[in-house]
Amino acid sequence: MEELRIFRMTFLALLLLFSFVVVASVHALPADSMWIEPPTLDFGGSPVGTKFNVTIWLNVATPTNSWQFYLVYNAAHLNAVRCDYTGSGKSQWSGTELAETVVPSFGFHNSTHGYVVHGEVLKNSGENTGAGSLSWVEFEIIQVPPEGQTLASELRLDLVGAFDSKALTKDYVSIPLDYGNAIYVIPEFPFPILLFAFVIVVSGIALVFKRKISQKACLRRGH
């Protein structure tokens, strides 16, 4: 029973030491809409270099031939590393429709913010409706906050710059969209908590080994 208690304490400490929390929720956005999942990311204690993915979604009631997203982010906090479609060589949203695909582009929206732009056109003037995922974007955290501070940074689809986020009919008519942005939060690195967790882990392991050695010694004396 004592070893079980030690194991439980060690396991909980390991969770504190290595885990970060991702909080996701489903956007209650109307059609027609484009949004980011998960909409909320909380990286408690994650160091510089941590990578994470977000996925862009589209839901349209209006028959749609093409889409484009223009995702803007704070370039002082994040770096966009990669981007690709969520389906097999094309978006999951396009379903069985044949599609013209493009390579994603990366650039600067302004002096402080970067962007990722990606899109797709259904061939033969095809049209599609309904909800589905478009592309995923991988980001890397390049800045963590000073002690006692928190970084909060938005990922936005509703800004207009070198490009914009949109959906078009086969006649190139723009479909008005509601946009769902996302925000990520990095609290200060919780060093005291991690140190405490590390001490518990080491102490628990040492105690288990000590008990094992003691049991072996007792067995030898019994013989």
The model's confidence at residue 146, banded by pLDDT at 50, 70 and 90, is: confident
- Residue 91: pLDDT over 80: yes
Range among 6-20, 25-39, 46-60, 177-191 rated most confident: 46-60
- Residue 92: pLDDT over 90: yes
User: pTM score, two decimals?
Assistant: 0.73
Q: Which residues contact 186 (CB under 8 A, 6 or more apart)?
A: 43, 44, 46, 77, 141, 144, 145, 150, 151
What are residue 191's phi and psi, to 5 degrees? -60, -45
**Residue keyed to tokens 């079980």:** 4
The model's confidence at residue 195, banded by pLDDT at 50, 70 and 90, is: very low
The model's confidence at residue 191, banded by pLDDT at 50, 70 and 90, is: very low
